[in-house]
Amino acid sequence: MDVISVIRTKRDRGRLTDEQIDWVIDAYTRGEVADEQMSALAMAILLNGMDRAEIARWTAAMIASGERMDFAALPRPTADKHSTGGVGDKITLPLAPLVAACGAAVPQLSGRGLGHTGGTLDKLESIPGWRALLSNDEMMNVLRDVGAVICAAGDGLAPADKKLYALRDVTGTVEAIPLIASSIMSKKIAEGTGSLVLDVKVGSGAFMKNLDDARELASTMVGLGSDHGVRTVALLTDMSTPLGLTAGNALEVRESVEVLAGGGPADVVELTLALAREMLTAAGLPDADPERALKDGSAMDHWRRMITAQGGDPDATLPVARERHVVTADASGVLTELDAYAVGVAAWRLGAGRARKEDPVQAGAGIELHAKPGDPVTAGQPLLTLHTDTPERFPYALQALAGGVTVGPAGTAFSPRPIVLDRIS
């Protein structure tokens, strides 16, 4: 079998056989298929799709490329969550310790930024000393002691996905539904969690721009999870506007700590609680009260213990970017649009994301929001503060924001979208 034949099959809208899928995933993992060849195949999949059987086989091949974990020895039921990626989506940070405080174990394997969307590991690495890479034994020890761990997937867990995940980020193939579904579910199934809640983002700042595509992706992933014995449910959530008031790495960590302290933006708190309730119900703990765990300090206690267990200092001063630029309102009225994609691309260009898989990110880079859609504003009022260590990035970031911030006349009616748009199980 050869990779050119596999690429041509999908390029010409053909169906890949089980043997072709098994071979190309194995060969790419071993380095026999080059990055540029897998890039061509990924683009063909993006353009021409895969049927349900192809996606299932692709996912199984990704799982088979490495080991599978087992949390049966833990004294708690396991529940995990995965977001398909958004702007300002720091939900994992308060969510994992919150669910642990309510009695479940959360083995949260997370990733780095993809395109304009932020990465959980990039955010947490802004905490001095914090480590994303843990051995399986270290991960189990943190789960036993704390109940929650957020870390990178080990080299042995779906290694095919680790290579392909980084490649998709820099080849314009992130949005392919078959590749998103198989990437997420191969890691989650191999991880061995007993239940899984999916946060499928919908809107300009998400990879799924409309509800139909989001439902297709959610249904595909729920089906894959159920087929492998993982209790899986998906929430479709709005990503037309950034979540919370920050987009960046250290900026989002600060906001997450505010939520754990019982404060924080209302939309972040609402979504965190909604996902926590789904995770606890799926784990067999429907009577647990995550709202109380936020208020009584137990979620914050689990956060501090989790960060400390992974080498971080929860009391350390977080990095701050050296340069700032304030964007002000050019007229008085009502903020009617703050486009999530525009903000995400601007934050990415400021240094919060990466253009190549080997690029570093700036811990302090990102954007603060001083108003959300529906808020009244006055001419000259700060709307956004841009943060970066490299001020030559400001014009490029401002270019991304052009047309993404709209102020309507005073009295303009504004009807916000609900955060949770649908539920699929």
Q: Tell me, what CATH number does 98's domain have?
A: 3.40.1030.10
Q: Are residues 227 and 283 in the same domain?
A: yes
Alpha helices in 78-210 (DSSP H): 92-101, 120-124, 136-145, 159-169, 177-191
Contacts 24+ apart (CB under 8 A), 230-233: 230/188, 230/189, 230/193, 230/194, 230/195, 230/196, 231/194, 231/195, 231/196, 231/282, 232/195, 232/196, 232/197, 232/198, 232/425, 233/196, 233/197, 233/198, 233/278, 233/282, 233/423, 233/424, 233/425
Q: Are residues 85 and 43 in the same domain?
A: no
Residue 356 has pLDDT above 80, yes or no: no
| pLDDT, averaged across the chain | 94
Quick check: is 168 catalytic? yes
Q: Which residue has the tokens 């809640």?
A: 197
Residue 37 has pLDDT above 80, yes or no: yes
Q: Are residues 334 and 301 in the same domain?
A: no
314 lies in some domain: no
105 lies in some domain: yes
What phi and psi values does residue 93 have, to the nearest 5 degrees? -60, -50
Find the CATH number of the domain harbouring 358.
Answer: 3.90.1170.30
150 lies in some domain: yes
Q: Are residues 123 and 237 in the same domain?
A: yes
Q: Are residues 351 and 255 in the same domain?
A: no
Q: Are residues 162 and 259 in the same domain?
A: yes
Number of separate domains in the chain: 3
Quick check: is 183 catalytic? yes
18-37 average pLDDT score: 97
Catalytic residue (one of 57, 81, 112, 187) = 187
Q: Are residues 28 and 176 in the same domain?
A: no
Catalytic residue (one of 110, 126, 183, 240) = 183
pLDDT digits (tens, 9 = 90+) for 272-296: 999 999 999 999 999 999 999 999 9
305 lies in some domain: yes
User: How many Å apart are CA 351 and CA 354, to the nearest integer?
Assistant: 7
How many Cα atoms sit within 13 Å of 369 on the Cβ side? 30
Q: Are residues 10 and 104 in the same domain?
A: no
Q: Which residue has the tokens 């302290």?
A: 261
Under DSSP, is residue 166 helix (H, G, I), strand (E, B) or coil? helix
Q: Are 41 and 171 in contact (CB under 8 A)?
A: no
Quick check: is 39 catalytic? no
Catalytic residue (one of 90, 168, 215, 354) = 168
pLDDT of residue 300: 98
* Pairwise pLDDT comparison (248 vs 155), residue with the higher score: 248
> Which of 119, 79, 82, 84 lies closest to 101 in space, CA to CA?
79
Structure confidence at residue 207 as a pLDDT band (50, 70, 90): confident
Q: In which domain, by residue range, is 36 found?
A: 3-49
pLDDT digits (tens, 9 = 90+) for 405-422: 999 999 898 888 899 999
70 lies in some domain: no
pLDDT of residue 403: 93
Q: Are residues 148 and 296 in the same domain?
A: yes
pLDDT of residue 357: 66
pLDDT of residue 157: 83
225 lies in some domain: yes
Q: Are 267 and 87 in contact (CB under 8 A)?
A: no
Catalytic residue (one of 22, 80, 89, 161) = 161
Catalytic residue (one of 10, 57, 82, 215) = 82
Write down which residue in 279, 309, 339 finishes a domain.
309
Q: Are residues 122 and 199 in the same domain?
A: yes
Q: Are residues 345 and 219 in the same domain?
A: no
Extract the tokens encoding 368: 């603060």
Q: Are 10 and 16 in contact (CB under 8 A)?
A: yes
337 lies in some domain: yes
User: How many Å apart are CA 88 and CA 251, to the nearest integer?
Assistant: 9
59 lies in some domain: no
Collect all residues with Cβ–Cβ distance below 8 Å to 277 and sequence separation of at least 6.
Answer: 290
pLDDT digits (tens, 9 = 90+) for 61-98: 999 999 989 998 999 999 999 998 899 999 999 999 99
Quick check: is 387 catalytic? no
Structure confidence at residue 116 as a pLDDT band (50, 70, 90): confident
Q: Are residues 234 and 376 in the same domain?
A: no
> β-strands 405-408, 333-338: how paired?
antiparallel
DSSP letters for 174-194: TT-HHHHHHHHHHHHHHHT-S
